Amino acid sequence: MPHDHSDHLSPSGHPYRADNDEPLSYWQTMEIAVRELLIEKGVSTAAEINAQIDAMDARSPADGAQVVARAWTDPAFRERLLANGSDACREMDFDIGALQLIAVENTRDTHNVIVCTLCSCYPRNLLGLAPDWYKSREYRSRTVKEPRKVLSEFGVTLPDTVQIRVHDSTADMRYVVIPARPDGTDGWSAEALAKLVTRDSMIGTGLAKTP
């Protein structure tokens, strides 16, 4: 049965979290009121709002993984990605919007990690919405001060010979990490490589999976 507005499914075909039976909160009341006022005033439509939700839902770390895998396998693309992250992602038909996206590359002696100390800026157009911990006081406060310790809490322990660079994002300037390509993947296709690229490896709180 085709779904309607009240039975809105995500692109994966799953319903949204079943929270509609919980008591109505003040802020939920405000969301409904603001949304209905915007529709009544002709600023937006229910269809446009649903389409925007679907567009955001369609974004996921799998998009970023494709970009990373191509950078690993296509040296000319890697150069373009490092020179202008937004344009290189647009080349692959990802809708980066007006964001200035800066790709930073992990190497044998440098590890990059991204944070937004002031709010929650995140490469959302490439990776989807940020996880809760990225927006937490603990991550925002400590990543710029003791990044090695924060990374160790994610299970990432780097030798002292590896320099850690922390990139503090702003509303207009978002970073994405190109993790180091794992050893033992020579000759792999971009498609196979993309499966090794996790969300956290593109934030810098993880490494790409090893084969």
Partner 1 sequence: MTDFDGKRWHDMGGADAGPVVPAEHDFALWEKRVDALMVLCSTKGLFTVDGLRRAIEDMGPDVFENTTYYDRWIAAVNQNLIEAGTYTLGELGAKMDEVAARGDTYGQAARG
Decide if residue 168 touches partner 1 (CB under 8 A).
yes
Q: Sort 168 into a burial class: Cβ within 10 Å, 0-12 / 13-18 / 19+.
A: middle
**Residues marked as catalytic:** 116, 119-121
Question: Closer CB to partner 1, residue 38 or residue 92?
Answer: 38
The SS3 call for residue 9 is strand
Question: Closer CB to partner 1, residue 36 or residue 74?
Answer: 36
Decide if residue 182 touches partner 1 (CB under 8 A).
no
The interface with partner 1 within residues 122-161 (CB under 8 A) comprises: 129, 131-133, 135-142, 144-145, 150, 153-154
Residue from 1, 2, 13, 17 touching partner 1 (CB under 8 A): that is: 17
Question: Closer CB to partner 1, residue 80 or residue 148?
Answer: 148
C-alpha 200/C-alpha 206 separation (Å) is: 5
For 71, the enclosing helix (H) or strand (E) is helix 61-73
The interface with partner 1 within residues 69-98 (CB under 8 A) comprises: none
| Minimum CB–partner distance for residue 13 and partner 1 (Å) | 14
113, 187 in Cβ contact below 8 A?
Answer: no
Question: Closer CB to partner 1, residue 29 or residue 189?
Answer: 29
The SS3 call for residue 177 is strand
User: Residue holding tokens 């919405």?
Assistant: 129
Torsion sign (Cα): 64, 65, 66, 67: positive
Span of 63-71, 74-82, 85-93, 117-125 interacting with partner 1 by CB under 8 A: 117-125
